[in-house]
Amino acid sequence: MAPAAVSIYLSDDSDLANSISGLVVERVKGVHTAVTEIHDDSQSDSEETLTSRSTSSPDVLGDFSIEAEHFRLSFDVLNVLEKYGTHIGLSDTATPTGHAPWSGKLRFLPHVYYHISRSSPVQLTMPAFPCKSLNRENKVLGHLPDLGEELALRRLNAMAKDVKKIYEFGAMVNIASDGVLFNDVLGISDQDCWDYGVELQAIIKEKKLEHIRFRPCMSVLGFICDDGLTEKAFLDTAHLCREELETRFAPTEQHLTELIKSDKDTMLTYCGMVKFLQSEMETSVSLKGLGSSARIRLYKKTAKKMMRRSEAFTGAIRALFPHHVRLSMHPSSGASKLSIALIPGADGGFQKSPWHSCVAVKSNGQPACVHSEEVRDTHDLILKDGRPYFFRERFR
């Protein structure tokens, strides 16, 4: 049933505003009237024709009523998603409290509307949860997921559950695992990526995270269906995923370099990647015998290679799932994706990703994503099922 009054306004400078008119649907004593707002005065003749045609056709009136309700729900869903976002203002250096508006909000209106108009779950996709860090001496607790991944998955599931509170078909968060895109560059085995994914799915099942779907790269690309993925199939197709993405979707190195110079989000990702690799490759044998300048060159080269594959995966997701809302666990302006802090810090901002850190639970219960070397002497290591799961601050 349509609400008593629904108004939808679109930004004048939005591409969306050029293709979708604002709708106002009123229900008065059981009689529907529809008015299409056309802001260009030169189109007044069209307005009169459409209005007279609409008010004389019950079928068209019914369509307007349904569309208006779908638009209202779409905006409501976007509002829920925005509450989970943390973005950097387009003109600011940083917004640590995460109150910058989601600049790409209207961009995803057609994506959400697509699913709502079909009475199906809103599909969200996040490339993430690849594998545990290469630096297992100083950063993480091992090669399997721990409390960090559990908390991150719970947050994503909570977001989808909040969508279901206002839209009966809810939302589905697709985890597009990108481990096999980067592991060979860093020296992590395909077997480790498989083991990591198996344990992630075990967490999803154990915690009844019904709005999360884990999808390895070969499933995303359509090489193997989700239900038919075995360990052997995973290991046999890992290299094919890398080849397929680089051949079909990866930008050239020159194009990536230009993007780093001209695009704010790409620049932020690149700088963050170079900084990250300094600790990620700290124990890598590839650094042995290299001076500081040579190491920096290696970090930059590795960062660009990883970003090319990341861009390829993003392109593949965009091409294969054009109606999915793109999620990201990296800081961004929000112009082309919804950036989510998987485990928000005390200020609501981003922390280290769960697969590149471990969780240290403070005495007040606040989880902090830290490197293991930072807390191993001041915190107690807590086990789950016989393996390290998180650190807990010691009471003094």
Question: Is 79 among the domain residues?
Answer: no
- The band of 61, judged by pLDDT with boundaries at 50, 70 and 90, is low
Question: Is 212 among the domain residues?
Answer: yes
The DSSP code for 326 is: E
- The band of 161, judged by pLDDT with boundaries at 50, 70 and 90, is very high
Q: Of 55, 74, 93, which residue sits at a domain end? A: 74
Q: What is the pLDDT of residues 332-376, one digit of tens each?
A: 888 889 999 999 998 888 999 999 999 999 999 999 999 999 999
pLDDT at 272: 86
Cα dihedral across residues 303, 337, 332, 261: positive or negative: positive
Q: Are residues 21 and 158 in the same domain?
A: no
pLDDT at 158: 98
Q: Are residues 53 and 178 in the same domain?
A: no
Q: Are residues 64 and 107 in the same domain?
A: no
Q: Are residues 26 and 150 in the same domain?
A: no
Residue type, 254: Q
Nearest to 185, CA basis, from 284, 289, 314: 284
Query: Structure tokens of 325?
Result: 């809302």
Q: Are residues 269 and 305 in the same domain?
A: yes
Provide the number of structural domains found in the chain. Answer: 2
Long-range contacts of 56-65 (CB under 8 A, 24+ apart): 60/34, 61/32, 61/33, 61/34, 62/32, 64/23, 64/25, 64/32, 64/34, 65/2, 65/25, 65/27, 65/32, 65/34
Q: Are residues 287 and 233 in the same domain?
A: yes
Query: Structure tokens of 115?
Result: 């699913």
Question: Is 47 among the domain residues?
Answer: yes
- With H, G, I as helix, E, B as strand and everything else as coil, classify residue 95: coil
Q: Of 43, 74, 105, which residue sits at a domain end? A: 74
- The band of 15, judged by pLDDT with boundaries at 50, 70 and 90, is very low
| Owning domain of residue 35 | 5-74
Rounded CA separation 239/246 (Å): 11
Q: Of 16, 41, 74, which residue sits at a domain end? A: 74
Q: Are residues 163 and 33 in the same domain?
A: no
Report yes or no: 50 and 36 within 8 Å, Cβ to Cβ: yes
Question: Is 182 among the domain residues?
Answer: yes
Q: What is the pLDDT of residues 168-201, one digit of tens each?
A: 999 999 999 999 999 999 999 999 999 999 999 9
Nearest to 367, CA basis, from 389, 345, 341: 345
- Cα angle 308, 105, 151; round to 5: 70
When pLDDT is averaged across residues 240-269 and rounded to a whole number, the result is: 90
Question: Is 26 among the domain residues?
Answer: yes
Residue showing tokens 């294969």:
320
Residue type, 70: H
Q: Are residues 95 and 69 in the same domain?
A: no
Q: Are residues 46 and 93 in the same domain?
A: no
Question: Is 167 among the domain residues?
Answer: yes
Q: Are residues 70 and 211 in the same domain?
A: no
Q: Are residues 171 and 27 in the same domain?
A: no
Rounded CA separation 330/46 (Å): 46
> In the beta sheet, which residues pair with residue 122?
171
Question: Is 343 among the domain residues?
Answer: yes
Of 308 and 95, more confident = 308
Question: Is 260 among the domain residues?
Answer: yes
Rounded CA separation 390/358 (Å): 6
How do 122-128 and 5-7 pair as beta strands? Answer: unpaired
What is the distance between the terminal CA atoms of the chain, rounded to a whole angstrom? 60
pLDDT at 202: 97
Query: Structure tokens of 93?
Result: 């250096």
- The band of 35, judged by pLDDT with boundaries at 50, 70 and 90, is very low
Q: What is the pLDDT of residues 103-146, one digit of tens each?
A: 889 999 999 999 999 999 999 999 999 999 999 999 999 999 99
Contacts of 220 (CB under 8 A, 6+ apart): 176, 313, 316, 317, 320
Q: Mind giving me the DSSP string for 11-71? A: -TTSHHHHHS-EEEEEEETTEEEEEEE---GGGHHHHHHHHHHHHT-HHHHHHHHHHHHHH
Q: Are residues 146 and 65 in the same domain?
A: no
Whether 70 has a pLDDT exceeding 70, the answer reads yes
Whether 218 has a pLDDT exceeding 90, the answer reads yes
β strands within the chain, DSSP E: 5-7, 22-28, 31-37, 122-128, 171-177, 212-216, 325-328, 338-339, 358-361, 367-370, 379-384, 387-393
